[in-house]
Amino acid sequence: MKGERYRPAPEVLRRLATVDFVAVVGPSAAGKTTLIREATRREPGLRLVLNNTSRDPRPDEREGVDYRFETRRRMEERIHRREYVQVAPSVFGDLYATAAEDYATDGVALLPVLADAMPGFRALPFRSSHTLYVLPATWEAWWPRLMRRQFNAEVLAGRLAEARRSLEFALDDTDARFVLNDDLAVARDDFAALALHRPRTARLRHDQTRA
């Protein structure tokens, strides 16, 4: 079942009505996952939404910390029962999805989301929903970080195209909230402040204009 045709079950939608959700969007290697990890370690009110996947764990990945690893058969069964919030098949044939039980109903649920998937998330009945855009301070700072991922030419082209769509989406979004990831500790605190709707500091107000 293709992700764009998937519709969660009514009980899943009812649960989402109790969830305060923040989608985290940005180019590959902008630091989305790092900022989420750092912010959730310091702020008990912020909760990461784990992805379920049918692919095998990589050597440095841990069950229940990085992903929830399930067999493809089990994921297909859950898709058939419409138990997931969203489903996203990858170009490599693996399945990715998020389960309703992983969206915390206390605090704020955080999830890295591709810009292309944002219309689907905005159609879901969350109690509240906002978007944070994580941006590198400069092209010169971002490019070496992207190159360290060692993507092949085809994957790199796809990531660059997705980065462009992310930035275009951010600039067209009237609810845009930007985090400039130029210093990890500062960006982490800015990220948490925006996710938790705290009063904006002078730096945050400046960053919204600068972005």
| 93-101: long-range pairs with CB below 8 Å, 24+ | 94/53, 94/54, 94/55, 95/52, 95/53, 95/54, 96/51, 96/52, 96/53, 97/51, 97/52, 97/53, 98/49, 98/50, 98/51, 98/52, 99/52, 99/68, 100/8, 100/11, 100/12, 100/15, 100/16
**What mean pLDDT is reported for the chain?**
87
State the DSSP H helix or E strand holding residue 194, giving kind and residue range, or none if neither. helix 184-195
Q: Where are the domains of the chain?
A: 18-49+104-211, 50-102
The burial of 151, by beta-carbon neighbours within 10 Å (0-12 exposed, 13-18 middle, 19 or more buried), is given as middle
Per-residue pLDDT, 152: 80
Q: What is the pLDDT of residue 3?
A: 45
Strand partners, 38: none
User: Which has more confidence, 146 or 210?
Assistant: 146
Amino acid 126 reads F
Rounded-to-integer distance, Cα 154 and Cα 158, Å: 6
Mean pLDDT throughout 174-182?
87
- pLDDT of 55-70, one tens digit each? 888 788 899 998 999 9
Q: What single-letter amino acid sits at 35?
A: L
Mean of the pLDDT values across residues 18-39? 93
Average pLDDT over residues 139-153: 77
Which H or E element spans position 78? helix 72-80
DSSP letter for 4, please. G
Give the Cβ contact number of residue 83 at 10 Å.
Answer: 17
90-130: per-residue pLDDT in tens?
655 789 999 999 999 999 999 998 888 888 899 999 999 99
Fold (topology level) of 50-102 = Guanylate Kinase phosphate binding domain (3.30.63)
Cα angle 78, 115, 88 (rounded to 5 degrees) comes to: 20
18-49+104-211: which CATH number, 3.30.930.10, 3.40.50.11540, 2.60.40.420, 3.40.50.300?
A: 3.40.50.300
Helical (H) or strand (E) element with 34 = helix 32-42
- Write down the pTM of the prediction: 0.84
Output the DSSP codes for 133-174. Answer: EEE-S-HHHHHHHHHTT---HHHHHHHHHHHHHHHHHHHH-T
Task: Answer for the pair 25, 133: CB distance below 8 angstroms, yes or no.
Answer: yes
Beta-strand relationship, 177-180 and 128-135 = parallel
Percent above pLDDT 70 for the chain: 90
